[in-house]
Structure 1
């Protein structure tokens, strides 16, 4: 807080309290400049919320792969990672958890979560995975959709399908990390 000595007579109007930077002592100027310099630096940790319908497969895979990718790059905690579903199921898809464990990502203990506007605002960046989930836009929230490979459309099912889905999501996660951390 700045103190300014005011000298005026009863007949003179009081001077305005605004001052130009050249009117300020050097110490006051330094105090004024510091917050401006700090405001240009990133002060918040970036966050991403992965969304699919059930939050038992693809969005859980993306969140697990993002955490694993961050850890492998020695960037654990550099991005806040979460996932949710528009109509969450009751558990994580066992095959999804199995193929992720093969690449060092553990989602076996995760629980599907309901998507909320609050979670979207908290993250600020939402990635919808696949074409099925419908998410209403929110002001101030960046939303992108990943149309991931769907091997079942080519007759590929089971473990082979899930490995292809995992590999597609893994490439996208790596690119997203680079964008978020620039």
Structure 2
């Protein structure tokens, strides 16, 4: 979700890759639906593990949730976003995903601003 939202926000100004520490077998249908609602593309995406070679070539890794852990090489910053979990408050389904999307979108906007300001 974060990668799709960053691509929508930053277009080609920030290179975005997506991978998981424990990727599932398919993309979450509700996640894809709420991304489509805001025009955040998921075309060509599929669950995949972190590529060690790519990990050594990036500047920043963002993980989502407290259970995600990445052993990054020296010089690679790992930033964890412990996102809101609406199901803890009894909110499920599409409403849950929209709230998760909103939380991640806010963090993506802040990160995009930070990264783009650093290049000026």
TM-score, structure 1 as length reference: 0.61
Question: 3-state DSSP class of the match of 2:12?
Answer: coil
| Contact 2:55–2:72 (8 Å) recurs in 1 | no
Structure 1 stretches of 5 or more lacking a match?
A: 1-60, 71-75
Give the number of equivalent residue pairs.
117
Report Cα offsets for 1:116-171 as digits up to 9, x if no partner.
33222222200011111121132010111001111011111111110000000001
Higher relative contact order (CA 8 A, sep 6+): 2
Determine the structure 2 residue equivalent to 1:68: 8
Determine the structure 1 residue equivalent to 2:25: 90
| Contact 1:97–1:108 (8 Å) recurs in 2 | no
Moved over 2 A (4+): none
Determine the structure 2 residue equivalent to 1:134: 69
Q: Give the distance between the partners of 1:90 and 1:165, measured in 2 at CA.
A: 21
Determine the structure 2 residue equivalent to 1:10: none
Determine the structure 2 residue equivalent to 1:166: 101
Q: Give the distance between the partners of 2:111 and 2:97, measured in 1 at CA.
A: 21
* Superposition RMSD in Å: 1.2
Question: 3-state DSSP class of the match of 1:123?
Answer: coil
Shift of 1:65: 0.3
Within-5 A mapping of 1:26-45 = none
Structure 2 stretches of 5 or more lacking a match?
A: none
Sort the Cα spacing of 1:91 and 1:139 in 2 relative to 1 into closer, same or farther, 3 A.
Answer: same
Sort the Cα spacing of 1:118 and 1:129 in 2 relative to 1 into closer, same or farther, 3 A.
Answer: same
Question: 3-state DSSP class of the match of 2:13?
Answer: coil
Question: 3-state DSSP class of the match of 1:122?
Answer: coil
Q: Give the distance between the partners of 1:108 and 1:152, measured in 2 at CA.
A: 27
Within-5 A mapping of 1:1-182 = 61-70=1-10, 76-182=11-117
Structure of greater Rg: 1
Question: 3-state DSSP class of the match of 2:40?
Answer: coil
